[in-house]
A and B are shown apart, each in its own frame.
Chain A
């Protein structure tokens, strides 16, 4: 079975541009979460979606938005990119949103974004 897939794997943008990152969850998983991992730090929660509804939002500005599609795939959009948005963006999927579901939450390999 395919794991969580993310695209693209790498991309380079300039300040002020907009970017869209994509995530395909494991088949059957209805929850997708997004995390930002800045170099040298741990992942930081951005959003969680379950059954196409936003269920959680971290402490990120409105420039960050996301959505989940009927097939449970998800997109993360970041507008007006800043240098500080350079990071590894991780997507994770799980079948449920209970705390124990965290043990079967699987992360994708991430998209590495560089903002110049």
Chain B
């Protein structure tokens, strides 16, 4: 059972426009969410996070929104740049002393930003 889902496998956006990547989760115990970016032949790199006590977190061009009642989060990239082209993963975790920091990842969304 996939607890974190990214329903759009790919997204194509024009340079300068907004990119919106979506993520849904089912486990209501998740209370911390992270977005990672992955280029080919590299490991994922941390992008931005949000705690469940917030509904928005912003870092430069990147903003993450959290809707707890809908169990939905989204990553907005404004303006999109060609260098943003990568696979984006949503991940979630909750306080579980017996399971370490077990990140649960979504399946990823491939973003392509066209010049």
Contacts and interface: CB of A to CB of B under 8 A. Distances in A.
Are A and B subunits of one complex?
Answer: yes
A5 to B, nearest CB: 11
A58 interface: yes
A42 B105 contact: yes
Contacts of A103: 34, 46, 49
Nearest to B41: A109
A89 to B, nearest CB: 11
A107 B101 contact: no
A33 interface: yes
- State the main secondary structure of chain B at its contact with A: loop
Contact of A45 (B42, B95, B102): B102
Interface residues of A, number: 30
Contacts of A99: 32, 93, 95, 101
Contacts of A107: 42-45
B19 to A, nearest CB: 19
Interface in B2-53: 4, 6, 32, 34, 41-46, 49
Contact of A58 (B32, B91, B102): B102
B46 to A, nearest CB: 5
Interface residues of B, number: 26
Contact of B103 (A45, A104, A110): A45
Given A102-B32, A109-B41, A97 B100 contact: yes
15 contacts: A33-B101, A35-B105, A41-B108, A42-B108, A43-B44, A56-B102, A58-B99, A58-B102, A92-B43, A98-B101, A102-B34, A102-B93, A103-B49, A107-B43, A110-B43
